[in-house]
Amino acid sequence: MTGTYSKASNFIKTTFRALQYRNFRLFWFGQCVSLTGTWMQRTAQTWLVYTVTNSPMLVGIVGVCQFMPMLLFSLFAGVLVDRFSKKNLLIFTQVMFLLQSVIMTLLTFTGRIQYWHILVLSTMFGFTQTLDMPARQSFFIDLVGPENLTNAISLNSTIVNLARILGPAVSGLVMLKYGMVFCFFINAVSFLPVIAGILMIHVNVKTPHRTGRRMLPEILDGIRYIKKSDTLILNVLITAVVCTFAMNGDVIIPVFAKTVLGRGAQGYTFLLSMSGLGAFIGAIFMAYFSKFGLKKSILVFSGCATGVLQILIFAAPQYWASAALILVIGFFNLIFINIANSIFQLNSSNEYRGRVMSVYSFLNLGSTPVGNFLSGLVMEQGNGGSGFLFCGSVTLVLLGVIFAVKRGAVLSWLPGCKSH
């Protein structure tokens, strides 16, 4: 009994070791509340658009509006993150998120909400997220130091993906009982704890203020910095493919639930929750096993696994089988994102970290408009199953091309292999 307790205690201490830092605790607990609200709004908004328009293409366009700013301006955001206080930037972005959700709440409550309103508000969200993401990601190392960075990233992912489980599930219940407006209202209120938490954080990090230089030369300087590193270049290529084509579940799942599985809002939100559950399990897995160090080979394996699993969903479109496969996809997607994030951060210096993480943001979310648009286009001609088939197939083909072209670098990442 004592041995079992000791093992459990050791597991908890190892898995949650980044929470020993006060600053990270303040940030983490605030996010616990805020991210659940964000996923409630995201779930309700997607279902609202699809039920009103009955068009996968129009659902995809909302995603394009939300992520297009990341595609166009994330590199500029990286320069700002390297110039100014990350804490102040994060306070600004949380206030802007709060304002966006308040406007969404008021328009829905008064019955004036229209499709173009959602496009404008999604674009506003996208601009805010473009600045928020590199600031947030590069802030972790200031909170916990490099030795616990991967653990902090993984713990942050646990709440992101716990929110993906709770948010859609709670959103489905709230939509059925009270309507979508309450999902938007809860999201607005949820930003208050995270703002309070960030205000209480104190970090002793000197931020260089290079305001005398123009932004474009600094962007180019950051790109040159990445090009000098074989590790960063390979990470960029693999991340670009997987994030563009293998991570369009938010657009595909509602269409797949309705057109292939014949399910309504509850079926759709359940599938989203399964994706979130898989990612949550992946985050706990990564939080514990991060103590063994960064394993780059896992990036290669998890990216390929996602493509294969998406093709399997197309081949076996039964509800419970699809739910199980979506759970496993969520698991591998989370592992992929955490490894890619850690490779970028641990292979960049403090001077360039904001710009390097803006490239990560560009690849992770900035590529989403392309993937959302292509997925929506394919499903407009077919159904949700064709969306999974297209994304999985293209992912595997393009990864195969990268592995062929960068064979030596890829082999150097794999255990027991030597580059030639």
CATH number, residue 17 = 1.20.1250.20
CA gap 248, 373 in Å, rounded: 10
Four-point Cα dihedral 276, 249, 336, 362, nearest 10: -120
Tell whether the model's pLDDT for residue 367 goes beyond 80: no
- 1 located within any domain: no
281-329, pLDDT tens digit by residue?
888 888 887 777 778 888 889 999 999 999 999 887 888 999 999 999 9
What is the mean predicted confidence (pLDDT) over 381-386?
83
- 142 located within any domain: yes
Tell whether the model's pLDDT for residue 177 goes beyond 90: no
- 336 located within any domain: yes
What is the mean predicted confidence (pLDDT) over 364-372?
76
- 269 located within any domain: yes
Q: What pLDDT was estimated at residue 90?
A: 93
Look at residue 420 and give its three-state secondary structure.
coil
- 38 located within any domain: yes
CA gap 369, 247 in Å, rounded: 11
- What percentage of the chain carries pLDDT values higher than 90? 24
- 246 located within any domain: yes
Q: What pLDDT was estimated at residue 101?
A: 93
The model's pTM is: 0.75
Q: What is the mean pLDDT of the chain?
A: 84
- 288 located within any domain: yes
Q: What pLDDT was estimated at residue 114?
A: 86
First to last CA, the chain: 52
Tell whether the model's pLDDT for residue 351 goes beyond 70: yes
Residues 6+ apart with CB under 8 A from 309: 325, 328, 329, 332, 392
Question: Domain range spanning residue 214?
Answer: 8-413
Tell whether the model's pLDDT for residue 368 goes beyond 90: no
Q: What pLDDT was estimated at residue 119?
A: 92
What is the mean predicted confidence (pLDDT) over 24-29?
89
- 418 located within any domain: no
- What total number of domains does the chain contain? 1
Q: What pLDDT was estimated at residue 207?
A: 56
